[in-house]
A and B are shown apart, each in its own frame.
Chain A
Amino acid sequence: MDIPRILRRAWIPGLWLLLWQGAALLVGEELLLPAPLPVLGRMLALLGEGDFWLTCGHSLGRILLGFLLGVLLGGLLAVLSARFPLVGAFFSPAMAAVKATPVASFVILVLVWLRGENLSVFISFLMVLPLVWQNVSQGIAGADRQLLEMAQVYRLSPRSILRAVYLPAVLPHLLSALRVGFGFAWKAGIAGEVLAIAPGSIGRRLHDAKTGLEMVDLFAWTGFIILLSVLLERGMMAFLARRFPGKERD
Chain B
Amino acid sequence: MELSHVTFGYPGRMIFRDLSLALKPGEPVAMMGPSGCGKTTLLRLMAGLERPLSGTVCGIPPEGVSMVFQENRLVPSLTVLENLALVSPRSRREELLALLAPLGLAAEGDSLPSALSGGMARRVAIARAAALGSSLLLLDEPFTGLDPENRQRAAAFLRERFAGARVAAVVHHREEADLLGARIVGAGTFCGRSGEP
Nearest opposing residue in chain B for A161, CB measure? B86
Report the tally of A-B residue pairs with Cβ distances under 8 A. Answer: 43
Nearest-neighbour CB distance to chain A for B154, whole angstroms, equals 19
- Docked pose: A112 CA to B86 CA in angstroms: 53
Nearest opposing residue in chain B for A171, CB measure? B77
B107 within 8 A of A: no
A101 within 8 A of B: no
Nearest-neighbour CB distance to chain B for A74, whole angstroms, equals 23
With known contacts A164-B77, A164-B78, A150–B63 Cβ distance under 8 A: no
Q: Find chain A residues with CB under 8 A from B78 CB.
A: 164
> Which A residues, 132 to 184, have Cβ-Cβ distances below 8 Å to chain B?
146-147, 149-150, 152-157, 160, 164-165, 168
Known: A146-B69, A153-B49, A154-B64. 14 other contacts (CB 8 A): A146-B71, A147-B73, A149-B73, A150-B73, A152-B49, A153-B48, A154-B65, A154-B128, A154-B132, A155-B63, A156-B86, A156-B87, A164-B75, A168-B77
Q: How large is the interface on A (under 10, 10 to 19, 20 to 34, 35 or more residues)?
A: 10 to 19
B162-177 vs A, Cβ < 8 Å mask (1 yes, 0 no): 0000000000000000
- Docked pose: A146 CA to B87 CA in angstroms: 15
Q: How large is the interface on B (under 10, 10 to 19, 20 to 34, 35 or more residues)?
A: 20 to 34
Q: Find chain A residues with CB under 8 A from B48 CB.
A: 152-153
Q: Find chain B residues with CB under 8 A from A149 CB.
A: 49, 69, 73
Nearest opposing residue in chain B for A150, CB measure? B73
- By a beta-carbon cutoff of 8 Å, the part of chain B in contact with chain A is 47-49, 62-67, 69, 71, 73, 75-78, 86-87, 89, 128, 132
A59-101 vs B, Cβ < 8 Å mask (1 yes, 0 no): 0000000000000000000000000000000000000000000
A154 pairs with B87, CB closer than 8 A: yes
A165 pairs with B75, CB closer than 8 A: yes
- By a beta-carbon cutoff of 8 Å, the part of chain A in contact with chain B is 146-147, 149-150, 152-157, 160, 164-165, 168
Q: Find chain B residues with CB under 8 A from A165 CB.
A: 75
- Docked pose: A164 CA to B76 CA in angstroms: 9
Q: Find chain A residues with CB under 8 A from B86 CB.
A: 154, 156, 160, 164
From the candidates B69, B76, B89, name the one contacting A150 in the complex (CB within 8 A).
Answer: B69
Q: Find chain A residues with CB under 8 A from B62 CB.
A: 155
Nearest opposing residue in chain B for A160, CB measure? B86
- Docked pose: A156 CA to B87 CA in angstroms: 6
From the candidates A147, A152, A153, A157, name the one contacting B75 in the complex (CB within 8 A).
Answer: A147
B64 pairs with A155, CB closer than 8 A: yes
Nearest opposing residue in chain A for B73, CB measure? A150
Nearest-neighbour CB distance to chain A for B33, whole angstroms, equals 23
Nearest-neighbour CB distance to chain B for A156, whole angstroms, equals 6
Nearest opposing residue in chain A for B47, CB measure? A153
Q: Find chain B residues with CB under 8 A from A152 CB.
A: 48-49
